[in-house]
Structure 1
Amino acid sequence: MTFSMSLETFLAFVVAMSLLSLTPGPGFLAVVARSLGGGLMSGFATILGLILGDILFLILAIVGLSALAAAMGEFFLVVKILGAGYLIWLGIMTWRARISPPPAGVAMHKADFHRSFALGFVVTLGNPKTILFYSALVPTFIDMAALTLGDVALLSLVVALVSLVVLGAYAFLATRAGRSIKSPRAFRWLNRATGGLLVGAGVAVATR
């Protein structure tokens, strides 16, 4: 497997990707909300969905399909609206629910994993910041036409690792905060906080 990127270019992408992950946005809100309400595995399932969306946009930019992605603006607009609506609906349902975080050590149901994964993926598809990052910013310092298969694999690995480390830390902290809550009244406020984060993520997706 061959590589064409210079070390400087590689490090520039790592820094740019780190800044993208550190910047609060719909993805951050979704990860924190799912971690608060469903535990660490729900948070990580959401992160995996976000990563899949990131890698999809990265590959579109690499193979020169940015113009196609731009031409599919109406499709992404529909995804954006549906994703925002789903986030807001989920937030309202969570706000009204009377649930507590699952106890540590309990396996997550497949449906919960799939729901959290899909949530992360849809949030990425509907986030203009992510689209602009891969279609406009990254090509300014990476020659997409010169990338080899090894480069693509390396960049995808960076996307996955940076997202797992940065967003994983948020997920871990949010889960710890959720586990520390014991009283029924506190659980109600936890649900409201989680629901508010999800609604906020939906509004962020809809208005960007």
Structure 2
Amino acid sequence: MTLENLVLFAGALVVLFLTPGPGIAAMIARTLDTGPWHAGMYGVGILTGDIFWFTLAVTGLSALAETLGPFWLAAKIIGASYLGWLAFKAFWSAWTGARPKPVFPTGSKRGWAATYVAGVAMPLSNPKPIVFYLTLLPAFVPLEMITPVSYAAMVAIMIVLAVPAAALYIISAHRARNWLERPSVRRGADIVTGLVMVTISLVLLTR
């Protein structure tokens, strides 16, 4: 594994992490719904799913994915159901004018776990990371040359690049959240958030 390969890998990841997609949209909506920390946990879940696909490609087990159809279907259902529930809460808030109660008590272990699991389910059923890690990645990096040391280095690169990329979207959304808390604009924001969640859940189920 050469330095050039690692640089190409890092450049490809920057494009992957910064390009808007279902994961980023859901993370932004999560920020508006429950704040930056839960959105950050959602992002950790997404990164976990990305590392899973990367590991699958590196270990040569990508062909195994084709035999695990029920597993991916379950991941889609979990992710879409959770996003659908968040959409319902957003629409309910727009209709009643009152902020909905969280599914789990704020800061509870169950709440953190549910957010993390939903984040993991996103890349497991999202075509973008699947195509990138299983199809495009070999064009940038010779997978047969990846050793345990280079694998660890590449995972570290993924983490180092994912954190600021997620923070960029989360912080921007959080700053806008204070403005969106005004009653005059909150209802419209809830409707937009709900529509985004519904759209993403449908994308997960139909692709």
Q: TM-score, normalised by structure 2?
A: 0.87
Measure, in 2, the Cα distance between the counterparts of 1:177 and 1:100.
19
2:159 maps to: 160
Work out the number of aligned pairs and report it.
200
- Give 3-state SS (helix, strand or coil) of 2:60's partner: coil
Say which SS state the counterpart of residue 180 (structure 1) adopts.
helix
Q: Give the distance between the partners of 2:110 and 2:73, measured in 1 at CA.
A: 27
Opposite residue 186 of structure 1, the aligned amino acid is V
1:187 to 1:100, Cα distance in 2 relative to 1, 3 A: farther
Match of 1:87 in 2: 83
In structure 1, the partner of 2:99 is 99
Equivalence for 2:194: 195
Unaligned runs of 5+ in 1: none
Contact 1:17–1:159 at 8 Å: present in 2 too? yes
Q: Which moved more, 1:72-81 or 1:58-67?
A: 72-81
Secondary structure at the counterpart of residue 64 of structure 1:
coil
Q: Offset at 1:149?
A: 1.3
- The answer (yes or no) to whether the contact 2:89–2:100 under 8 Å persists in 1 is no
Whole-Å separation in 1 of the counterparts to 2:118 and 2:36: 15
Structure 2 gaps, min length 5: none
Provide the residue aligned with 1:6 in structure 2: 2
In the alignment, the residues of structure 2 paired with residue 168 and residue 126 of structure 1 have an alpha-carbon distance, to the nearest angstrom, of 23
**DSSP 3-state at the match of 1:24:** coil
Q: For the Cα contact (< 8 Å) 1:29–1:200, is it kept in 2?
A: no
Q: Are 2:55 and 1:59 equivalent residues in the alignment?
A: yes
Alignment-mate amino acid for residue 197 of structure 1: V
Give CA deviations for 1:136-190 in whole Å, capped at 9, x if unaligned: 1112232222211111111111222222111220011111111223433433333
For residues 168 and 137 of structure 1, what CA distance do their matches in structure 2 show? 25
1:135 aligns with 2:131: no
Return the alpha-carbon distance in structure 2 between the equivalents of residues 190 and 115 of structure 1.
Answer: 24
Equivalent pair of 1:99/1:187 in contact (CA under 8 Å): no
Contact 1:21 1:166 (C-alpha < 8 Å) held by counterparts: yes
RMSD: 2.2
For 1:182 and 1:75, locate their aligned partners in 2 and report how far apart those are by CA, in whole Å. 39
